Copies of this chain bind each other. A is one copy, B any other.
């Protein structure tokens, strides 16, 4: 392994320190930035080898890219705009410097895609790879959308389609010959791509905030679990129409190939990084039109916020309890 100083020099070259608002870039005791008269949105997320990714199947650049995007998604879910990121990367001492540089390269790529500056990085020795990214965003004063504002009567809306990332995970973890073959198909590659290179809905989040979203969250642990968090924080219930949940069409092929239930992945799979928001009924149509016009993103009404209860409505119109299970890192 290169010395810390050599590595820091190589990483410094990779990081974009000349972005607007960056007063002191990486390389000093701390970075200095100037966000202007906004409120700041702060979020942190960690990806651990063996828990969140498998270094044998995940490309280092994808790892870096995703570590940034999952945080950008949290900023988007507040209605904010990402601005700055700081990194901490722990790697085993026998890690190839090229691998570390590729991780930073992926982070830089995500930073460029989402217009944020990587302003700090700490690389330390660890017995496994642990990548922690902190992202700072800005939001207009008083305009952050929390989880706790949903009101009975609000419609529940979701961006894009759900379940593809969980389908990708199923494929890369699958040991059967059939699923391993599926990774090589067009739809298989797209499913794995949804897992490795998720997209954060930044513009969509800002637009939903402007449209008056009363609450918002990103789907990191599955629609059911994440929506249950909104209900808990807002002290309300929810009624989800299963037929209306937008399931990724990429899952059709996987369903025939591997016998999985697409709706199950959409409800409980996680890592989609779509946004779930609550809106007054009269605001849904205009918001849908804006999302489609501006970003080509579909917004789907999947049910309503109720006083109490957490239920799914089936094809037959009957209500059943919706299980708030999903991806629990300690489960």
Contacts and interface: CB of A to CB of B under 8 A. Distances in A.
A34 B143 CA distance: 12
Nearest to A89: B46
A18 to B, nearest CB: 15
A32 to B, nearest CB: 4
A56 interface: no
Interface stretch (A57-65, A134-142, A239-247, A285-293): A134-142
A266 interface: no
A93 interface: yes
Interface stretch (A37-45, A168-176, A185-193): A37-45
Q: For the complex formed by this chain, how many copies does it contain in all?
A: 2
B1 A330 contact: yes
Chain A contact patch, size range? 35 or more
A45 B77 CA distance: 26
Contacts of A4: 328-331
A10 interface: no
A120 interface: yes
Contacts of A86: 42-44, 134
Nearest to A43: B30
A255 interface: no
A107 interface: no
A256 interface: no
Contacts of A331: 3-4
Interface string A126-140: 111010101011010
A101 interface: no
A75 B24 CA distance: 13
Interface string A293-322: 000000000000000000000000000000
A120 B42 contact: yes
Contact of A126 (B75, B87, B128, B134): B128
Interface of A: 1-5, 7, 23-24, 27-35, 37, 39-46, 48, 50-52, 74-75, 77-78, 80, 84, 86-88, 90, 93, 119-122, 124-128, 130, 132, 134, 136-137, 139, 141-142, 144, 146-148, 216-218, 233, 328-331
20 contacts: A5-B328, A24-B146, A28-B146, A28-B148, A29-B78, A30-B41, A30-B43, A30-B74, A30-B75, A30-B78, A30-B80, A32-B42, A32-B139, A43-B86, A45-B122, A50-B127, A88-B132, A88-B134, A125-B330, A134-B134
